[in-house]
Chains A and B, each alone.
Chain A
Amino acid sequence: AQSVSQHNHHVILSEAASLELGCNYSYGGTVNLFWYVQYPGQHLQLLLKYFSGDPLVKGIKGFEAEFIKSKFSFNLRKPSVQWSDTAEYFCAVTIYTGTASKLTFGTGTRLQVTL
């Protein structure tokens, strides 16, 4: 069964600092990869996704992620964080079994951005 590991549980950054959140998955086949964000009091929202093609994907709010197949990684990056980026970030992977799909999530990384 596939699994997802997020190495950082709690990250504290000052505004304008650069961000990189790690994500590794364990599955040797074809996967689709996602980063979701959960702002305080809000529901899960899709930040970005990788299905195929260019391994560097750009998402909303200036976020990007790079899929490195050889490392089974899909790290999330942002060059300069803002206070409003304070949230919980979840990496997730999908493999398809026929037509069904389920998302397998990591345990999440809480990002706290200080002014």
Chain B
Amino acid sequence: DAGVTQSPTHLIKTRGQQVTLRCSPKSGHDTVSWYQQALGQGPQFIFQYYEEEERQRGNFPDRFSGHQFPNYSSELNVNALLLGDSALYLCASSIWTGGTYEQYFGPGTRLTVT
């Protein structure tokens, strides 16, 4: 059973460019969340998708947008990249079981903005 997968593994972009990161959830999971982990920090919640809709959003600007497809996979898009967007971007998938969620994380995409 494949876990959460993310692509690409690493990415280098220039300020002002746009980037798309991809995530495939664990089999059977219908909810995808995205997190940003800056160096030396804990992951920060960006947003969560369920049934192709953004269900909850953290304190991130509109430059960060996402999408969920019918097969539950998801994309994270960041426009007008800033140096401060350099971070590890984590995708987590989950499903509602027993009254709560348990989130499983992928390996992340390391984004470097120069």
Interface residues of A (CB under 8 A from B): 4, 32, 36, 42-46, 49, 51, 90, 92, 94, 96-97, 99-108
Contacts and interface: CB of A to CB of B under 8 A. Distances in A.
Interface of B: 33, 35, 40-45, 48, 50, 55-56, 58, 90, 92, 94, 96, 98-108
Contact of A102 (B45, B104, B107): B45
Most chain B C-beta atoms within 10 Å of own C-beta, residue among A42, A46, A105: A105
Contacts, number: 61
A33 to B, nearest CB: 11
A92 B41 CA distance: 13
Contact of A103 (B43, B96, B106): B43
A65 to B, nearest CB: 15
A101 B94 CA distance: 10
A55 B45 CA distance: 26
A67 to B, nearest CB: 14
6 contacts: A46-B102, A51-B98, A51-B99, A101-B56, A103-B43, A103-B92
